[in-house]
């Protein structure tokens, strides 16, 4: 583990080719990189975009969509290039909305646009997990959400998921409820079939190759691939329970990821590679909680999009953006989740927002 190292984690920016951004997300992250990351003097700096950085339709159009996102947001990609030039490593973890970043052509386009040079490795794409031994485990989190799970996540070319099938059949000839239900059932069947494929040796060899890249024992990653397996009846019951809880105002948004973090911790502990921090995105709700029956903690990076679902201060104040940070200085390691305040007038305020989660804000003052 390197000393004097800083990691910043943000997720769910949902930047699409159409350029729509109710919160000014691209401008906010651009200024964050300049005012916080580049202003930090740690010898080693990493920025982790923990999934759903982009909203991509996927497959063959993915590389072209990355180009379109960059064309609409030249200042952001300029900031990426400045970070890389200043020896900041950018990590893009794939989420359910940008899973096709792992395709070779899309990965190459992103690396070129973000400024990766010949021979350097400062723009990295992670299809599933980012792991730092003794420090943290990070993934987007959709693998633990039944309606988004991709059992064969390491195979390019995503299978249809139940939620995607439901959304795609909202309009046109698929508007009839029976057509939508049929599409969902077919998608659920495809996910169940993929769960069986994930148990077979050809896919297991892919897992072993990915384990070597991640830095985990192969047996540990094989076990992690089985956490949160899709089962139709429990998945349907969970969705029905969520609908009922929401109708009476008792929905605990994202509780499944807290449970998943505990299961991931148990799995890694069994293989001697547990860590003190487990980071996820996906739920759009920033959190910092203890992992059940352990000394580790679960950190959720929330969202920088307008689709905030938690009851934190960013729900009422669109100028607040959640950031998870891990700082290493000598033997000391600290991890926290804070809100960074941004305004389109580029004025930063250092007050601590009130929150059910008691997160202080990131204090940043603009250099005059």
Q: What is the pLDDT of residues 270-297, one digit of tens each?
A: 999 999 999 999 999 999 999 999 999 9
CATH top-level class of 5-145+254-362: alpha beta
Q: Which two tokens stand for residue 11?
A: 């997720």
How do residues 24-62 score in pLDDT, each as one tens digit?
999 999 999 999 999 999 999 999 999 999 999 866 778
Place of tokens 């997720």: 11
Q: What is the DSSP string of 267-324?
A: HHHHTT---SEEEE-SSS-EEEEEPTTSS-EEEEE--SSS---SSSGGGT-TTEEEEE
Cα 216 from chain centroid? 19
Q: What is the pTM of this model?
A: 0.88
Q: How far apart are CA 292 and CA 279, in angstroms?
A: 15
- What gap in Å lies between CA 110 and CA 76, rounded to an integer? 13
Where exactly are the structural domains of the chain?
A: 5-145+254-362
Give the separation between CA 322 and CA 310, rounded to whole angstroms: 12
The reported pLDDT for the residue numbered 237 is: 53
- Asked if pLDDT for residue 250 goes beyond 70, the answer is no
pLDDT score for 356: 40
Runs of H (alpha helix) within the chain: 25-32, 62-72, 74-85, 104-113, 162-168, 177-197, 201-214, 218-224, 232-247, 255-270
Q: Structure tokens of 184?
A: 């969902």
Q: Cα dist. 241→186, 191, 238, 346 in Å?
A: 22, 21, 5, 43
């Amino acid at each position: 583990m390197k000393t004097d190292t800083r990691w910043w984690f943000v997720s769910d920016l949902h930047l699409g080719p159409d350029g729509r951004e109710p919160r000014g997300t691209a401008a906010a992250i651009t200024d964050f990189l300049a005012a916080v990351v580049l202003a930090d003097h740690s010898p080693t700096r990493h920025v982790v975009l923990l999934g759903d950085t982009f909203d991509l339709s996927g497959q063959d159009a993915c590389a072209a969509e990355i180009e379109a996102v960059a064309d609409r947001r030249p200042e952001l990609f300029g900031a990426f290039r400045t970070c890389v030039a200043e020896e900041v490593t950018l990590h893009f973890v794939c989420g359910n909305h940008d899973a096709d970043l792992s395709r070779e052509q899309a990965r190459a386009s992103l690396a070129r646009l973000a400024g990766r040079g010949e021979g350097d490795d400062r723009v990295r794409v992670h299809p599933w997990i980012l792991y730092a031994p003794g420090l943290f485990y990070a993934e987007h989190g959709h693998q633990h959400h039944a309606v988004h799970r991709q059992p064969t996540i390491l195979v390019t070319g995503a299978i249809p998921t139940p939620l995607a099938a439901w959304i795609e059949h909202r309009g046109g000839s698929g508007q009839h409820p029976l057509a939508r239900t049929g599409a969902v059932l077919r998608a659920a069947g495809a996910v169940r079939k993929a769960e069986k494929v994930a148990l077979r040796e050809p896919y297991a060899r892919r897992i072993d190759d990915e384990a070597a890249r991640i830095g985990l024992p192969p047996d540990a990653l094989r076990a992690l691939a089985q956490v949160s397996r899709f089962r139709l009846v429990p998945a349907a019951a969970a969705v029905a329970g969520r609908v009922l809880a929401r109708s009476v105002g008792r929905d605990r948004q994202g509780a499944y990821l807290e449970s998943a973090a505990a299961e991931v911790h148990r799995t890694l502990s069994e293989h001697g590679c547990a860590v003190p921090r487990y980071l996820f995105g996906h739920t759009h709700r920033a959190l910092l909680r203890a992992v059940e029956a352990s000394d580790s903690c679960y950190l959720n990076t929330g969202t920088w999009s307008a689709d905030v679902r938690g009851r934190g201060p960013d729900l009422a104040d669109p100028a607040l953006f959640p950031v998870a940070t891990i700082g290493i200085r000598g033997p000391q390691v600290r991890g926290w989740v804070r809100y960074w305040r941004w305004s389109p007038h580029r004025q930063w305020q250092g007050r601590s927002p009130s929150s059910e989660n008691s997160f202080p804000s990131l204090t940043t003052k603009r250099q005059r």
